[in-house]
Structure formats: C-alpha cells, structure tokens
Amino acid sequence: MSEIFVIGHRNPDTDSICSAIGYADFKRRTGMTAAVAARCGDTNDRVDFVLKTFGVEPPRFISDVSPKVRDVMASHIVSVLPDTPVAEALAIMDQNNIRVLPVIGADRRCEGLVSVFKMTMYYLPAPNRLFDSRRVLASINGLARTLAARLVHTVNPEREDELILMIGGMAFDSFKTRLEKYPRAKLLVIVGDRRDIQELAIAEKVRLLVVTGGLQPDADVVAAAARNGVSVLLSPHDSATTAMLCRAAITVRHMMHEKQFLTFGPDEPLRKIQPIATESAFLAFPVVNESGEVLGILSKTDFLKKVERQLILVDHNELSQAVQGADEVEIIEIIDHHRIGALTTHQPILFRNEPVGSTSTIVADCFLRYGVQLTKPIAGLLLAGLISDTLNLTSPTTTQRDATILQILQNIAGVDAADFTDKLFSSGSVLVTRPAAQAIGADCKEYTERGHKFSVAQIEEIGFEQFQKRKEQVVAALADFRESKGCYFSALLVSDVATQDSLLLVAGAKEFLAAIDYPEVEPGIYQLKGVVSRKKQLLPYLAHCLQKVK
C-alpha cells in the first residue's frame, strides 16, 4: 500500500506541526487520499496547547522513513513443523514456488531452514552413494503418512528407525539369500501380492512389511505378522512408487540448517542488512520479533522490491533537518518559506518556496487559491502556526500576505489573533517544563555553510526571567550539544516576544566567537536588540561571521 507522509523538520515547532496537518488535509481534499500528517520529533507544550484548543490529534510519529525489512518481507508465512515428512515439505514448496522453508515449532520460533537443494541431495543421492538410496530414516507412522498407507498391524509406530529398504521383486531363493545379508530388525520389505515373500519376511521377523498396489494380505498372513511382531502397511501405490516415497518419509528435522541461518528484525534498515544477506549462502531469512517469534520471511529477491513510500516536506527543504531516511525514499513535494539548501531529487517535483512569515501562510493560501473549504479546526491550526512564526505579525519576516491571510483565518476559526497570541506564548515555557538539554533541542536546526556544520536553536519566551534562573545549565547543555553533534559551533537564540529582543548563546571555536560583534554581556552570551527571527536576521548574520573566519 502506498504511503505519503506530509512531515515537518526534526524538533518540530508550532508552524511545522500545524502546516503538516493542514497540508495533509488539503492534499486529501484534492485527491491524494493516501496523504498522512506526520512528525519526526516530540511535540512541545505550545504545540499541545494548540492541538487541544482546536480538537486535533497530533500527527503520526515517525522517527525513520528508510525502507525496513517489514516493508518488503512476506508476512504470509509458509512453513512446516519439525516432524513434517520431506515429501510434504517438497510438495508445499512446489505449490508455492519457493525454494526455502522455515521450520517453526509450536512456540512460533524458527528451529531451522530446509532447502530444496539439501532435500534433493538426500532424496536423489549421487552415483557414488547409491546404497544411500536404500536407507530410510522414519517412523512407521511417518511412512504411513507419506505413503497414504493403511496401518494393518503396527509395533511401536512412533519410534524412528534407520531402516534398509528391500523390494521383493526377484525369485524366492534369490530374495532369501539376499535377506540373510542384513539384520532383520532393520529391514523394510516392499512386496506386492507374492504370498511366499510375505511369509518369508514375517518368518524372519523384519521390522516392516509394506504390501503395495492396495492388495490386502490374507488374514492368516496378518495374524502371523502379529505373532512375530512385524508391522504391516498397505500402500495404494505400486512397488516402484512406494520405494521412492519411503525415503521421503524422513522428517525435515533431519534436513534443516539449524545453526548457520540468519534472522533479521522487522525494523532493521534494508541498506544495513543487504550486504549481510548478499554474502549469505541462504536464499531466505526468517524475520523475528524480540521474543524470537517468526513474523515473516525475507528473501534475497525482496531487496529488489520498491517501497511505496513518499514524502512531502513542509517548513524545511534541507536533508540535514529532515526525518531520518528521507534520502532513501521519494520526495514528491516541498512547501517551505526558508532559504533553499542543498537538496537534489531524482525527478521534477512541486517545490513551493515563498518569502512569507510562515509555512502555514502558504498552506492556507493553497486552500484559498484552489477554492477548497477550510474547516474551523484546520483554520485554527494554520492561524496558530502563522502567529507562532511571525510573533503575531511583529517579526521582521512578516509580509502583507501573512496579515491578509491571518485575517481570513481569524474569521473562519472564530478566534481573535491578539487574544490567542497571549494564550499561546503563555501556554508553556520549555525552560520551565524541560531539562536544559531538551530545552535547547526543542526547536533546533542543523546547517552546513562554507564547509562547516553548525546548529541554531531558538526558544521564545515572555521575558528573560526563566532563562536567568537556568542560565548556567543552559550554557553547559549547549556546549555538550555542540560536542555530541560535532558542530563547528552551536547557537541558541532566546527571544523575548514582548520586547522583540534576544540573547544569543554560542558554544564554538575561539576564532568564530571573535567574529561576533554584538555586545557580549557575559562570556559566550550576546545581546541582540531588535532580533527575533532566526531565518531572516540571525542566519544571515552567522553566515557573515563564518566568512570572516580564516
């Protein structure tokens, strides 16, 4: 089944979540029924407030969209039990056109694999091992099952024996001479309606007498067999067919690969396991859960299957900010209002990138432009995304289109923007509700510029009071974050939405810190008057600082 995920960036903010939900709704209403809103990070208190206010469920959480084993494996499991005769296993393989079968016990765990190759090697031995074709390892019940034979008289029918097969198709004296060469308790004699051979075999107390052609032996012969402890089966087949089938009565337990076979988990990435599977001599691999229970079968040909998963990226266009695995699936659309980063696609796509204050503005415009009805909850979400990213039209990124669309969304949602702004930014401070390490990553994006990888996070507060209380923890967490990500520098913009001022924290190389010319109020902390936009104000400035570093 095709999957189309409309998904925002990692560490999603309000605009990212709201635009994903809104655009997924737009795509479904315009014919793309498989579109599903998704997120690749946790929601925060403000996002939760918005979703609760407008009665909308959070988008589906997806941490990784790369093709997994479960995407291509066969979930309908064709398997056999350990005590299944080889003849039945081969028939199952033939019916299903497969060459490997998992042997699964009653506890749903895989005990081994059986292959056509190994069973055929046993069933049809090489010319230098012709005597092996007379060896039969089976129980009487197993032989009866394989032959579809009737049990006339049996002794210990469940016991598995290693038998030597003889066919009573020669003169009586010749058969008698041949019979004397082998231990009688190991002989399986196949004969038609020749009473003399039947009586001799019974008198010599062979392990099993198989009468072929569906010919019922005489009552006194059966009685003699009972007295001498000889088991008797009645095969419906002729002697040649019966002899051939007897070797196939061996159970798959003796034919399976028990130790060498590989198993994979359902959520393992295909790119990771493909080299391992390719180098293996096996053609198929059980897919098991944490308890070892078999969920499916992965074959080598499954790696050729195309995973029908597509992405629509909203509120970002750089793979460094996208959900993990985005580079392994097809991206079909991008809806964004940020700078254009380095991203390539295999085919032309719809790329809508506009210099407006929020992605929610672009999504709302899609509804209006194409005359698609905006429901009250979706209008409310898009209003929240627009207000959040433009600070209710006060951010320098705000355009006249943002203002026009905000007015339309207010009317549809029945929400006053000014009143909602106060409630939104009072709904939760990440500096209060989260540990410092989580707070600085709640809205963090990674970039690459002039060969340097760096990160820029932003926290929007009403005043700097909460930041001052946890300043030391935040500074330490930012330094740890930079080291863990291997960034040239990591920046955190703490913005006061009331005064439209910010504090900039930077953990980075000394030469980069030296390039920053904003007032340094404390080591590594700078005062940025009138700066609240990461996209339009801070990023260009940081890029300029990078240019000054030699």
Q: CA 533 to CA 522: how far, in whole Å?
A: 22
Q: Look at 269 and 426; give whichever has higher pLDDT.
A: 269
193 has a pLDDT exceeding 60: yes
Q: Does 499 or 372 have the greater pLDDT score?
A: 372
Burial class (CB in 10 A: 0-12, 13-18, 19+), 246: buried
pLDDT band, residue 360 (cuts 50/70/90): very high
For residue range 276-298, what is the model confidence (pLDDT) as tens digits?
999 888 888 999 999 889 999 99
Q: What is the pTM of this model?
A: 0.68
Q: Is residue 210 a contact partner of residue 223, using CB atoms and an 8 Å limit?
A: no
Three-state DSSP at 85 gives strand
Segments of the chain assigned to CATH 3.90.1640.10: 3-66+308-425
Are residues 224 and 196 in contact, defined by beta-carbon separation less than 8 angstroms? no
Superfamily of domain 3-66+308-425: inorganic pyrophosphatase (n-terminal core) (3.90.1640.10)
CATH class, range 430-548: alpha beta
pLDDT above 80 (res 133):
no
Of the candidates 460, 465, 470, which has an alpha carbon nearest to the alpha carbon of residue 436?
Answer: 470
Band of residue 128 on the pLDDT scale cut at 50, 70, 90:
low
The DSSP secondary-structure symbol of 293 reads B
- Model confidence at 387, pLDDT cuts 50, 70, 90, reads very high
User: Which pLDDT does position 126 carry in this prediction?
Assistant: 61
Whether the predicted pLDDT of 125 surpasses 80: no
Radius of gyration of the chain (CA): 37
What confidence score (pLDDT) does residue 167 get? 94
Q: What value does the mean pLDDT of the chain take?
A: 91
Q: Give the per-residue pLDDT at 1.
A: 54
- Residue 173 scores a pLDDT above 90: yes
Q: For residues 28-57, give the mean pLDDT.
A: 94
Task: Please give, one letter per residue, the 3-state secondary structure of 457-513.
Answer: EEEEECCCHHHHHCHHHHHHHHHHHHHHHCCCEEEEEEEECCCCEEEEEEEECHHHH
The confidence band for 345, taking pLDDT boundaries of 50, 70 and 90, is: confident
Q: What is the pLDDT of residues 476-491, one digit of tens each?
A: 999 999 999 999 999 9
Which two three-digit tokens encode residue 97?
């056109």
How would you classify the pairing of strands 350-353 and 330-336?
A: parallel
| CB count in 10 Å sphere of residue 416 | 11
Structure tokens at 112: 């081994």
Angle made by CA atoms 394, 352, 500, in degrees to the nearest 5: 15
- In the chain, ranges of CATH 3.10.310.20 domains: 430-548
The mean pLDDT of 444-451, rounded to a whole number, is: 88
Q: Is the pLDDT of residue 227 over 80?
A: yes
Alpha carbon distance 276, 255 (integer Å): 24
Q: Inform me whether the pLDDT recorded for 271 exceeds 80.
A: yes
Does residue 129 carry a pLDDT above 70? no
In which order are the strands placed within the sheet that holds 309-314? 60-61, 35-39, 3-7, 309-314, 330-336, 350-353
pLDDT at 11 exceeding the cut of 90: no
Contact 498, 463 (CB under 8 A): yes
Residue 131 has pLDDT above 80, yes or no: no
Question: How many Cα atoms occupy the beta-carbon half-sphere of 215 within 13 Å?
Answer: 17
Judge whether residue 123 has pLDDT over 80: no
For residue 132, what pLDDT band results from cuts at 50, 70 and 90? low
Work out the average pLDDT over 290-315: 91
Please report the pLDDT score of residue 166 as a whole number: 94
Q: Is 339 helix (H, G, I), strand (E, B) or coil?
A: coil
* 148 contacts: CB under 8 Å, gap ≥ 6: 235, 236
| pLDDT exceeds cutoff 90 at 2 | no
How many Cα atoms are found within 13 Å in the side-chain-facing hemisphere of 217? 30
**Above 80 in pLDDT, residue 45?**
yes
Predicted confidence (pLDDT) per residue in 394-439, tens digit: 888 999 999 999 999 999 999 999 999 988 887 767 888 889 998 8
Please give the share of the chain, as a percent, with pLDDT higher than 90: 70
